[in-house]
């Protein structure tokens, strides 16, 4: 009776999860290939970095800035990733914007993000040098837009002209102090998108991390620049190298195909389990339904951005859960053949199969972790859902299916019960 009560509550919880999936406010988050949208690939210009600068840190900073910038536009679940191509020896930035099929708008969204950096004069350049000399002999420093915390519109107290005030973080303030201290009496240039916008002469070391961009701004131009800088100044320049657009229709078709494949695959598994394992197969199928509901709930709650690869990972994890049941039922069948009663056979079958189930699932988890840590964004989508499925399957194999099996097992050794607990073409 105790096991039947447990099974009852498992079913109640499963029904509650199903109700949440149907009536809950949260929707499944679909990736670019399912929802449609745009994908932009940029080449990151790391050649301009000063000698000794860690390219990986600068690239990570670039990704963070772009991600913050894209999020301001309200794009749902954008994906901003970076990768290094050993073949072409270049860094790439991949931006996926689900639901955004206007490539021109997407390019503008990224392209309007300014590249801000501070440069110091090369040897031989002084405040009296010509304008051309000043532009061409400056060299880059480590101080870039990645260290910027905020920008404000201010006004010159003498001329009342609008200016842009910059505030750096602690690391940026330290770099700015070092730059000004080393260049007293010289010009330090502020470059925006590769163009010089201000080149003041340094009178003394400046501490506190504050700088001012002065020029012939109008109030509106100053406000626009401040908005762009606060949205995120890039630490590195980028060049668009390719775009991909997935239309909403194609995305809908891919989603429908994925759902259909999942339904057909699940139905075939259930038919096989019922035919070959009879009553235990029915209980296992019920356990798979609960397992699938838990997975779908996690997809919503985490939330997991579902892609075609992610759905494939989920389907394969269902196969892993079925394999756990098959191992258990085969061990249980052996116990029945050795003369044990149904209750004892169920307990012994689960106990004997546990080692094999544990080892296979741990192996799957290790593989998924390796794929996630080393793979591309597509591989990561597969690896994460497969990892999640393996963890849930490991738990459900020993809890959910076991509860159902113990609930139906009894001390009866009637021919009917022997037939229901047999498998294949055998009746005992």
Counting residues of the chain whose pLDDT is more than 70, the rounded percentage is: 90
The total of other beta-carbon atoms located within 10 Å of residue 256's CB is 11
Return the bridge partners of 404, or none.
Answer: none
What local confidence, expressed as pLDDT, does residue 412 receive? 62
253 and 378 part of one domain: yes
Instruction: Report the distance separating Cα 118 and Cα 133, nearest Å.
Output: 17
The pLDDT-based confidence of 295 (bands split at 50, 70, 90) is very high
Residue 190: CATH number of its domain: 3.30.1360.200
238 and 257 part of one domain: no
What local confidence, expressed as pLDDT, does residue 293 receive? 94
Question: For residue 386, is pLDDT > 90?
Answer: yes
The pLDDT-based confidence of 73 (bands split at 50, 70, 90) is low
Q: Identify whether 428 is part of a domain.
A: no
Least confident of 110-119, 310-319, 368-377: 110-119
The helix/strand/coil state of 114 is: coil
Q: What pLDDT digit, counting tens, does each position of 10-19 carry?
A: 999 999 999 9
Q: What pLDDT digit, counting tens, does each position of 106-130 carry?
A: 787 776 667 788 899 887 655 555 5
Instruction: Report the distance separating Cα 341 and Cα 43, nearest Å.
Output: 68
Q: What is the largest CA-CA distance in the chain?
A: 106
Cβ proximity of 121 and 186 under 8 Å: yes
174 and 271 part of one domain: no
Q: Identify whether 426 is part of a domain.
A: no
Tell me the average pLDDT across 65-71: 77
Higher pLDDT, 314 or 376: 314
109 and 19 part of one domain: no
Q: Identify whether 134 is part of a domain.
A: yes
Q: Identify whether 330 is part of a domain.
A: yes
Tell me the average pLDDT across 143-162: 88
Place of tokens 């080892």: 359
207 and 62 part of one domain: yes
Q: Identify whether 145 is part of a domain.
A: yes
239 and 320 part of one domain: no
Residue 20: CATH number of its domain: 1.20.1640.10
Q: Identify whether 427 is part of a domain.
A: no
Least confident of 1-5, 43-47, 154-158, 281-285: 1-5
26 and 141 part of one domain: no
Instruction: Report the distance separating Cα 107 and Cα 371, nearest Å.
Output: 31
Higher pLDDT, 204 or 230: 204
What local confidence, expressed as pLDDT, does residue 99 receive? 77
Sign of CA dihedral 249, 250, 254, 260: positive
The pLDDT-based confidence of 33 (bands split at 50, 70, 90) is confident
215 and 68 part of one domain: yes
Instruction: Report the distance separating Cα 20 and Cα 184, nearest Å.
Output: 66
Distances (CA, A) of 127 to 131, 140, 181, 204: 10, 18, 16, 15
What local confidence, expressed as pLDDT, does residue 179 receive? 93
The pLDDT-based confidence of 133 (bands split at 50, 70, 90) is low
With residue 266 as reference, give the H or E element that holds it: helix 248-301
Specify the length of the chain in residues.
428
Residue ending a domain, among 213, 228, 244, is: 244
The pLDDT-based confidence of 98 (bands split at 50, 70, 90) is confident
Q: What pLDDT digit, counting tens, does each position of 354-368 carry?
A: 999 999 999 999 999
Q: Whole domain around residue 97: which residue ranges?
A: 37-244
Higher pLDDT, 76 or 220: 220
What local confidence, expressed as pLDDT, does residue 16 receive? 94
316 and 176 part of one domain: no
Q: Identify whether 410 is part of a domain.
A: yes
- 68 Cβ neighbours under 8 A, 6+ residues apart: 231, 232
What local confidence, expressed as pLDDT, does residue 413 receive? 66
What's the total number of domains in the chain?
2
Higher pLDDT, 353 or 398: 353
Question: For residue 428, is pLDDT > 70?
Answer: no
Residue ending a domain, among 244, 279, 297, is: 244
What local confidence, expressed as pLDDT, does residue 392 receive? 94
Residue ending a domain, among 194, 215, 244, is: 244
262 and 169 part of one domain: no
Q: What is the mean pLDDT of the chain?
A: 84
Q: Identify whether 425 is part of a domain.
A: no
Most confident residue range from 70-84, 122-136, 209-223: 209-223
280 and 159 part of one domain: no
Q: What pLDDT digit, counting tens, does each position of 323-342 carry?
A: 898 899 889 888 888 888 88
Instruction: Report the distance separating Cα 234 and Cα 243, nearest Å.
Output: 20
251 and 237 part of one domain: no
Distances (CA, A) of 32 to 21, 97, 123, 311: 22, 7, 50, 13
The pLDDT-based confidence of 76 (bands split at 50, 70, 90) is low
0.85 cut: is pTM over it?
no
């Amino acid at each position: 009776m105790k096991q039947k009560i447990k099974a009852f509550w498992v079913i109640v919880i499963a029904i509650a999860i199903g109700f949440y999936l149907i009536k809950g406010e949260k929707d499944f988050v679909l990736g670019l290939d399912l929802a449609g949208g745009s994908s932009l690939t940029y080449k990151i210009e790391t050649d301009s970095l000063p000698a000794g600068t860690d390219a990986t840190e600068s690239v990570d900073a670039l990704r963070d800035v772009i991600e913050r910038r894209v999020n301001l536009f309200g794009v749902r679940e954008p994906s901003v990733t970076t990768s290094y191509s050993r073949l072409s020896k270049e860094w790439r930035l991949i931006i996926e914007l689900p639901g955004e099929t206007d490539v021109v708008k997407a390019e503008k969204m990224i392209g309007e993000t300014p590249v801000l950096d501070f440069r110091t004069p090369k040897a031989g350049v002084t405040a009296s040098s010509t304008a051309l000399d000043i532009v061409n002999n400056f060299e880059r420093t480590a101080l870039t837009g990645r260290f910027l915390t905020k920008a404000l519109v201010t006004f010159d107290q003498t001329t009342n002209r609008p200016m842009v005030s910059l505030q750096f973080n602690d690391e940026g303030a330290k770099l700015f102090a070092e730059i000004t201290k080393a260049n007293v009496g010289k010009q330090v240039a502020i470059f925006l998108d590769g163009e010089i916008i201000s080149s003041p002469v340094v009178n003394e070391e400046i501490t506190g991390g504050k700088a001012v961009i002065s020029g012939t701004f109008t109030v509106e131009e100053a406000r626009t620049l401040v908005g762009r800088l606060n949205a995120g100044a890039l630490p590195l320049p980028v060049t668009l190298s390719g775009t991909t657009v997935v239309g909403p229709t194609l995305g809908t078709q891919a989603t429908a195909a994925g759902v259909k494949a999942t339904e057909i695959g699940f139905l075939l598994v259930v038919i096989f389990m019922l035919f070959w394992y009879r009553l235990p197969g029915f209980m296992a199928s019920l356990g798979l339904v609960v397992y699938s509901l838990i997975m779908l709930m996690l997809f919503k709650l985490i939330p997991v951005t579902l892609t075609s690869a992610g759905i494939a990972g989920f389907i394969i994890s269902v196969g892993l859960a079925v394999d756990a049941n098959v191992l258990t039922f085969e061990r249980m069948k052996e116990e029945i053949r050795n003369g044990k009663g149904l209750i004892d056979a169920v307990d012994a079958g689960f106990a004997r199969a546990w080692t094999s189930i544990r080892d296979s699932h741990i192996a799957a988890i290790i593989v998924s972790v390796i794929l996630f840590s080393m793979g591309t964004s597509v591989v990561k989508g597969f690896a994460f859902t497969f990892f999640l499925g393996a963890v849930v399957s490991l738990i459900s194999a020993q809890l959910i299916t076991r509860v159902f099996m113990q609930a139906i097992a009894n001390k009866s050794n009637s021919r009917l019960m022997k037939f229901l607990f047999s498998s294949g073409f055998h009746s005992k």
